[in-house]
């Protein structure tokens, strides 16, 4: 297992390097640049643009800009070596002058905890959405399997199919119109996210698709387990149906469900930028969208690499946990 873990850790480096290269190429292929307009939408003059390019190293060839961001380079103005992404340095923000990308994403306001940072907000939203998906998705799948071809099964399939088919931003628009504009149960524009009620709608929208997928996966896994010989043997021993369902059926049926929880959490955190933008949520995804609109190159690169690392670590964690969930699984050394 140790050999497998070390090998997978080494594979993270080429994966992250490939992601950074693809992101860099796509980012630089898009028209515009970080100095096109300032905060007041005024054009930056040529001399100022030249000075900014020299200070941030944007006057260098593209290949050197990429290697400088990943590995580091000597600044042409300060004449000091600055280590790159491999040292955890995600670079300075071009639009929020004087701040680094890591401070924007991971630093909380003064006298506040880490959970008040942009990454903390996005992580909390992802955890709440994942909890919503698990608490509702697994029971819906179990009931649908136990009541196969009944009204309960059809209701569960309808919910699951709707959650998979309806895009999250469409569901968000409907909920905002219904609960915000018509019923006035929530504020459309939220200034204080410390109140729990404001988290319910974005978490519900974000986790609805995962809940639907969890319900369908639980239902199909339960139907497969229900036909196994050990289930019939347990019933023939006279065990109570509740014990058969919980101990023999549900325990084995949840194996494929548990394996998706890690990537699901990473997917909820990394896929929340649309929802965060629609609800004006102060998370990492909203900052990512703003950086794309402003052509803030280092902010785009840094946030993308954080997302990529989350997905890679989530997949690795699931592979390591899987062997403890199912004893039949063994790692190949």
In this structure, what CATH number is given to the domain that contains residue 206? 1.10.3720.10
CA separation (Å) from 123 to 66, 130, 179, 285?
29, 10, 25, 11
The reply to whether 53 falls in a domain is: no
* Closest C-alpha among 209, 191, 49 to residue 129: 209
Domain count, the chain: 1
pLDDT at position 42: 58
Q: CB under 8 Å to 39, separation ≥6 — which residues?
A: 95
Residue 119 has a pLDDT of 92
Question: CA 292, CA 86: separation in Å to the nearest integer?
Answer: 23
Predicted confidence at residue 332, as pLDDT, reads 53
Domain limits at 182?
A: 130-282
What is d(CA 208, CA 212) in angstroms, rounded to the nearest whole number? 6
Round to whole Å and give the CA distance between 138 and 144.
Answer: 10
Residue 195 lies in a domain: yes
Per the domain annotation, does 73 fall within a domain?
Answer: no
In a domain, residue 305? The reply is no
**99 in a structural domain:** no
In a domain, 145, yes or no: yes
Tell me, what's the pLDDT at 333?
Answer: 47
pLDDT score at 257: 85
Q: Is residue 178 part of a domain?
A: yes
Residue 209 near residue 172 (C-beta atoms within 8 A): no
pTM of the model: 0.84
Q: What is the mean pLDDT of each run of 10 residues along the chain (333 residues)?
A: 76 90 91 70 74 84 91 76 87 86 90 88 91 93 91 92 89 88 81 83 92 92 87 84 84 82 81 84 89 89 91 81 65 51
Whether 206 maps to a domain, the answer reads: yes
The candidate with the shortest Cα–Cα distance to 316, out of 268, 267, 265, 263, is 263
């Amino acid at each position: 297992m140790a050999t497998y873990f070390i090998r997978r850790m080494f594979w993270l480096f080429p994966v992250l390097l490939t992601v950074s290269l693809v992101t860099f190429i796509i980012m630089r292929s898009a028209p515009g640049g970080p100095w096109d307009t300032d905060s007041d939408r005024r054009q930056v003059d040529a001399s100022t643009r030249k000075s900014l390019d020299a200070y941030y190293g944007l006057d260098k060839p593209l290949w050197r800009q990429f290697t400088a961001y990943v590995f580091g380079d000597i600044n042409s103005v300060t004449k000091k070596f600055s280590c790159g992404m491999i040292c955890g340095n995600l670079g300075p923000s071009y639009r929020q002058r004087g701040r680094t990308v890591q401070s924007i994403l991971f630093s909380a306001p003064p006298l506040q905890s880490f959970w008040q940072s942009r990454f903390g907000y996005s992580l909390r939203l992802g955890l709440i959405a994942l909890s919503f998906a698990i608490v509702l998705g697994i029971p819906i799948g179990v009931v649908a399997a136990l009541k196969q071809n009944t009204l309960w099964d059809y209701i569960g399939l309808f919910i699951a199919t709707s959650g998979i088919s309806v895009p999250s931003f469409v569901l968000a628009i409907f909920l905002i119109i219904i609960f915000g504009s018509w019923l006035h149960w929530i504020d459309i524009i939220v200034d204080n996210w410390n109140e729990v009620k404001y988290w319910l709608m974005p978490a519900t929208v974000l986790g609805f698709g995962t809940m639907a997928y969890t319900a369908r996966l639980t239902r199909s896994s339960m139907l497969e387990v229900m036909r196994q010989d050990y289930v019939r043997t347990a019933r023939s021993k006279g065990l109570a149906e509740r014990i058969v369902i919980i101990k023999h059926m549900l325990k084995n049926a949840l194996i494929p469900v548990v394996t998706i929880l890690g990537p699901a959490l990473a997917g909820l955190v990394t896929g929340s930028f649309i929802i965060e933008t629609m609800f004006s949520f102060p998370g990492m995804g909203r900052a990512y969208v703003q950086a794309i609109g402003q052509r803030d190159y280092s902010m785009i690169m840094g946030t993308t690499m954080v997302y990529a690392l989350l997905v890679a670590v989530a997949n690795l964690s699931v592979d390591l946990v899987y062997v403890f969930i199912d004893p039949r699984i063994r790692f190949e050394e």
